[in-house]
Amino acid sequence: MKLVGLAVLLVASLCYAQDSGDFRPATTNVPDAQYPRVDSAGRAEFRFKAPDATAVKLNLWSGPKLDMAKGADGFWTVTTPPLVPGLHYYTIVVDGAEVSDPSSHTFYGGGKDASGIEIPEAGSTYYLPEDVPHGQVREIWYHSDVTGTWRHALVYTPPGYDEQTRMRYPVLYLQHGAGEDETGWTRQGHVNFILDNLIAAGKAKPMIIVMANGNARRAGATPPAPGARFGSPEMMKAMHEMMMAFEDDETKVLIPYIDAHFRTISDREHRAMAGLSMGGMQTFQVTFDHLELFAYIGGFSGAAMAFGGQPFDTKTALNGELADPAAFAKKVHLLWIGVGTDEPAMMHTGIENLHNALTEAHVQHVFYESPGTSHEWQTWRRDLKEFAPLLFQ
Amino acid sequence: MKLVGLAVLLVASLCYAQDSGDFRPATTNVPDAQYPRVDSAGRAEFRFKAPDATAVKLNLWSGPKLDMAKGADGFWTVTTPPLVPGLHYYTIVVDGAEVSDPSSHTFYGGGKDASGIEIPEAGSTYYLPEDVPHGQVREIWYHSDVTGTWRHALVYTPPGYDEQTRMRYPVLYLQHGAGEDETGWTRQGHVNFILDNLIAAGKAKPMIIVMANGNARRAGATPPAPGARFGSPEMMKAMHEMMMAFEDDETKVLIPYIDAHFRTISDREHRAMAGLSMGGMQTFQVTFDHLELFAYIGGFSGAAMAFGGQPFDTKTALNGELADPAAFAKKVHLLWIGVGTDEPAMMHTGIENLHNALTEAHVQHVFYESPGTSHEWQTWRRDLKEFAPLLFQ
C-alpha cells in the first residue's frame, strides 16, 4: 500500500460489503451538477461530455489512470473502487489533453486550477461547518520589497476577534505544498472549520492563522527556463533561491505587517509555524534560521531534509540547534512531525527516519501517523487537528 | 457592433496600427505559464496541448469560436484580433468536450469554473492594486433558516476598519450575475481595488461591501429537473422561487447578520444595493419590496423588467413607487442604471427603454453608458467606479 498508484484505492472487503450504491453528488461539485457522485462505500462515478473524442481517461493524482467508457449520448463514464476519504485532485485526459472536469470546482494544485473530489469520512465532522461560532478568513494584500510585488495572503481570525477588541492573539504561520498556493489551506484544507470546531470544544486556544504564498521570487530574479527538468542543477538553484526569498519575505515583511495590522501577541512564545510537504521544508528552514521568532514548529509530510531517507545527524543538522536536546527543549516548546501511513515510501521513510534520529538523540518531539492516508489533504487536515491543540499552552 | 459575436472584437485600424507583437503572458495565467499571452494591441495568443485531438476550438464567450491550428509538437494555437479590454470568460472545445484552459486561472461563471483572460486597458489603473491603503475581503459563513444551509459570503472592509474601532460604516450589498457566485465581484470585478483607489482619492466614502450568493433555494425545495429548458414554465417558476428565497435570505438573515457582526450604520439612509445582470434584477426586486431598508439602488446591465424592451409603465411598475416622482426622489437618494454600448440588443434596448421611460416620467435617476464594452466585467467595473462615489453623500 505504499505505492502512490495504490494508495488511494482502499479495496477493503469491509467496504464492498456496504454495497449500497447510494450515489449522491459530491460536495465539491459546481452547483446542481449531478456528477461526479459518491456512494457510502466511497466509490466515485465520473461523467464527462466529449462526443467526438476517441479516448478519455480519469486521472486521480494519487491513484491510477482509469479508462472511461463512451455512451451513446456522448458522455464518458467510469466508477472507481472505494477511495480513501478526503479531497483528491484529479484531471480528465481527453485525446491527450489533460484538463479539469467542468462538473467539479477547481483547487489550485499541481501548478494549475485542477479538479477536486471530496470523499466523506464516515463519522468525521471536525473539518466541516458545524453549529459553532465561526471565524473569518481575510484576504490581505501587502507590498513586499523582497519580491517587488503586491502579495496576496489569507488570514484566519478566530470567532469573536471583532468583538473582543482588547484581546490579542498568538499566531500560526501555515504553509501549503509545492504546486499549491495560499488558498490551499482554506479551500482544500478547511483550516477555518477545523479551528472553529477545536476552539468551540475548548481544545485549541483562539489564534490567528496566516497563510502566505510560498512561491516567492526575489525582485529582478529570472525564472528557470520553461521546461527545465525537475532535479536539474538549474531547478535546484531556482528552488533554493525561492526558499531564501520566501524566508526573507516572511521574516522581514509579512510578520511585521501582520503584527502591525492584527492584534497579535508579537513575541516568539506566541508565534508558531507549520507547513505541509514543501511548506514543511520551508517551515524547518525559516524557523531554525530564526528561533528568535518562533517557539512552535510543525512539519506535515515534510520536514528538514527528511525526504528520501538520507541520514539525519542531530549534532550538525538544522544549524546544530538540536545538538543540546535539553537546551533545545527549553527554547522550542513543540517540535511536531506527521506523515500518512500510506504515503509514498520516499516521504514516509524520510519522516520516519527523522523521527527515529530525534528519538535516539533524545530530542523532545511529537510524531503522528495518519492511518490509511497518503500524501493528500486528509493527512494534513488530521495533522492540523492534532497539532493546533498543542500550541500556546 | 450589437451582436454578441462581434462585440468582443474591436477591429479598429487604430489598434492594428500599433502592430508591435509585443506579447506578454496574461495576468490571469497560472504562475509561470507563458500562454495565453497578450500584446499591446489587445491581441491574445492561445496555446493548448492536445496531441491526439482532431479538432480544437477557442470559445471566447463574448466572441466567436475560433479554430485552433495544430503544431508538430502537439500544441494547438490561435491568435485573436484585438480584443476589448477587460476580463473575458473562455473555454477550449477539444473534440466536442468544452473545458477550461490549464494555463489560465478559473473564475466561476456560466455555472462552472471557467477560464478567464484579462486584456489590459491602456492607461486604466482604477481596478488594479496601487500604492494606496488596502482594505480586506473577508469570507464569512452564516446559517440561513431560509435556505437551511450554511451560506458563504464575502465582505469588503475599507482600509482602517480594524484600527478605527469606534467608526461605523454604510453598507453596499453588491450582487453578481446569473451563472456566477459571491466570488465574482472580487475575483473578476476587483471590487476591493476599485474601492481602495476611490477611497484613497477621496472620491468615495469608506464603506462596507457585502457580496452574497444570489443563487438561493428555499429549504426543502426541489431543484428543476436536470435539462429543464431555459424559459420553460418549470424554469421560470424555479427562477421566481430563487428570487423570492434570495430576497428573504438577504432581508431576514443576511442584513441582520451583517449589522450584528460588523460596525455598520444600520439605517436605510446608509444602506445601498446594486447588482449586475441577474443581480440587477434582484436588486430592483429586493429594494422596491423593502424601501424601508434601502435608500440607494443600482442596476448594472440589469434592472426591473428591463430585458427585451417590454413597455415600462412608471405608474404601475415596481409596486407603484415611481408614480409620484417627487415623493420617490425624497425617499430614494440614488436610482442608477448602467449598460455597455456594445451589449446585445436585448440588454441595451431594455435598459435604454427604462431610462427613456424614467426620463419621460421625470423620475430622477442616473443613466451611464460604458463605451465600447459588452455584457462583461469591464462594463461592471466601470459601473462600480461611477456608482460608488454617489453613495452616502
Are residues A30 and B112, on separate chains, in Cβ contact within 8 Å?
Answer: yes
Which residues in chain B have Cβ-Cβ distances shorter than 8 Å to A181? 31
Instruction: Determine the pLDDT at residue B308.
Output: 58
User: How crowded is residue B288: how many other Cβ atoms within 10 Å of its Cβ?
Assistant: 18
CA distance A369 to chain B (A): 32
Instruction: Determine the pLDDT at residue B74.
Output: 96
Question: B326 to each of A393, B321, B361, B362, how far by Cα in Å?
Answer: 64, 11, 11, 9
Instruction: Determine the pLDDT at residue B133.
Output: 97
Q: Alpha-carbon dihedral of residues A293, A298, A301, A306, nearest 10 degrees?
A: 60
CA distance B271 to chain A (A): 21
Chain B interface disruption, residue of A52, A68, A222, most B CBs within 10 A? A52
Which residues in chain B have Cβ-Cβ distances shorter than 8 Å to A137? 138-139
Question: B61 to each of A314, A348, B57, B69, B87, how far by Cα in Å?
Answer: 58, 46, 12, 19, 11
Instruction: Determine the pLDDT at residue A174.
Output: 98
Which residues in chain B have Cβ-Cβ distances shorter than 8 Å to A228? none
Report whether CATH 3.40.50.720 matches the domain A13-119: no
Average pLDDT over every residue of B346-353: 90
> By the 8 A CB rule, do A45 and A52 touch?
no
Q: Give me the residue from B94, B112, B136 closest to A97, CB to CB.
A: B94
CA distance B275 to chain A (A): 20
Q: Give me the residue from B97, B105, B136 closest to A138, CB to CB.
A: B136
Q: Let me know how long chain B is.
A: 393
Q: Give me the residue from B97, B103, B165 closest to A49, CB to CB.
A: B97
The set of cell numbers assigned to A151 is 502579495
Are residues A92 and B99, on separate chains, in Cβ contact within 8 Å?
Answer: yes
In 3D space, the residue among A51, A92, A101, A52 whose CA is nearest the CA of residue B55 turns out to be A52
Q: Give me the residue from B30, B112, B181 closest to A102, CB to CB.
A: B112
Report whether CATH 3.40.50.1820 matches the domain A136-390: yes
Q: Is the pLDDT of residue B214 over 80?
A: yes
Question: B243 to each of A69, B178, B218, B240, how far by Cα in Å?
Answer: 40, 12, 10, 5
Indicate the domain borders of chain A: 13-119, 136-390
Interface of B with A in 243-302 (CB under 8 A): 261-262
E strand or H helix at A380, and its extent? helix A377-387
Are residues B98 and A97, on separate chains, in Cβ contact within 8 Å?
Answer: no
What does the pLDDT look like over B258-295, one tens digit per residue?
999 999 999 999 999 999 999 999 999 999 999 999 99
Helix axes A278-289, A233-248, angle to 10 degrees: 50
Are residues A102 and B94, on separate chains, in Cβ contact within 8 Å?
Answer: no
C-alpha span between B236 and A357 (Å, rounded): 67
Instruction: Determine the pLDDT at residue B239.
Output: 85
Are residues B186 and A139, on separate chains, in Cβ contact within 8 Å?
Answer: yes
A vs B: CB pairs below 8 A: 148
Q: Which residues of chain A are modeled with pLDDT < 70?
A: 1-20, 226, 230, 305-310
Are residues A52 and B51, on separate chains, in Cβ contact within 8 Å?
Answer: no
Look-up: residue for cell 479598429? B12
Q: Give me the residue from B30, B74, B94 closest to A94, CB to CB.
A: B94
C-alpha span between A202 and A215 (Å, rounded): 34
Which residues in chain B have Cβ-Cβ distances shorter than 8 Å to A104? 113
> By the 8 A CB rule, do B43 and B120 touch?
no
Instruction: Determine the pLDDT at residue B139.
Output: 98
Enumerate the β-bridge partners of residue A151: A142
Are residues A140 and B134, on separate chains, in Cβ contact within 8 Å?
Answer: yes
Q: Is the pLDDT of residue B3 over 70?
A: no
Q: Is the pLDDT of residue B307 over 70?
A: no
Q: Give me the residue from A31, A54, A97 closest to B49, CB to CB.
A: A97
C-alpha span between A166 and B165 (Å, rounded): 11
C-alpha span between A59 and B189 (Å, rounded): 33
Instruction: Determine the pLDDT at residue B19.
Output: 58
Are residues A95 and B53, on separate chains, in Cβ contact within 8 Å?
Answer: yes
Instruction: Determine the pLDDT at residue B63.
Output: 85
The set of cell numbers assigned to B226 is 436536470
Chain A interface disruption, residue of B37, B56, B61, B94, most A CBs within 10 A? B94
Are residues A99 and B112, on separate chains, in Cβ contact within 8 Å?
Answer: no
Instruction: Determine the pLDDT at residue B222.
Output: 82
Assess whether the region A13-119 and the region A136-390 belong to the same CATH fold.
no
Q: Give me the residue from A56, A141, A263 closest to B134, CB to CB.
A: A141
Are residues A53 and B106, on separate chains, in Cβ contact within 8 Å?
Answer: no
pLDDT, averaged across chain B: 92
CA distance B136 to chain A (A): 5
Q: Is the pLDDT of residue B233 over 90?
A: no
What does the pLDDT look like over B96-112, one tens digit per residue?
999 999 999 999 999 99
Instruction: Determine the pLDDT at residue A231.
Output: 73
Residue of A nearest to B224 (CA): A32
Q: Give the contacts of A153 (CB within 8 A, at least 6 positions apart).
A: A139, A140, A141, A142, A182, A210, A211, A212, A213, A254
DSSP string, B57-124: EEEETTS-EEE-EE-TTSEEEEEPSPB-SEEEEEEEEETTEEE--TTB-EEEETTEEEEEEEE--TT-
Average pLDDT over every residue of B12-32: 74
CB-count burial class (<10 Å; 0-12, 13-18, 19+) for A235: middle
- How big is chain A by its Cα radius of gyration, in Å? 22
Instruction: Determine the pLDDT at residue A157.
Output: 98
DSSP-derived letter for residue A169 is: B
Interface of B with A in 102-161 (CB under 8 A): 102-106, 108, 111-113, 129, 131, 134, 136-143, 150
What does the pLDDT look like over B133-171, one tens digit per residue?
999 999 999 999 999 999 999 999 999 999 999 999 999
Interface of A with B in 57-96 (CB under 8 A): 74, 92, 94-96
Which residues in chain B have Cβ-Cβ distances shorter than 8 Å to A48? 97
Question: How confident is residue B223, by pLDDT bands cut at 50, 70 and 90?
Answer: confident
In 3D space, the residue among A183, A170, A129 whose CA is nearest the CA of residue A389 turns out to be A170
Question: How confident is residue B4, by pLDDT bands cut at 50, 70 and 90?
Answer: very low
Q: For chain B, say whether A98 makes contact (Cβ under 8 Å).
A: yes
In 3D space, the residue among B171, B380, B153, B190 whose CA is nearest the CA of residue B273 turns out to be B171
C-alpha span between B2 and B383 (Å, rounded): 19
Q: Is the pLDDT of residue B225 over 80?
A: no
CA distance A238 to chain B (A): 13
CA distance A108 to chain B (A): 9
Q: Is A83 helix (H, G, I), strand (E, B) or coil?
A: strand
CA distance B140 to chain A (A): 5
Are residues A94 and B92, on separate chains, in Cβ contact within 8 Å?
Answer: no
CA distance A127 to chain B (A): 14
Sign of the alpha-carbon torsion through A127, A133, A139, A143: negative
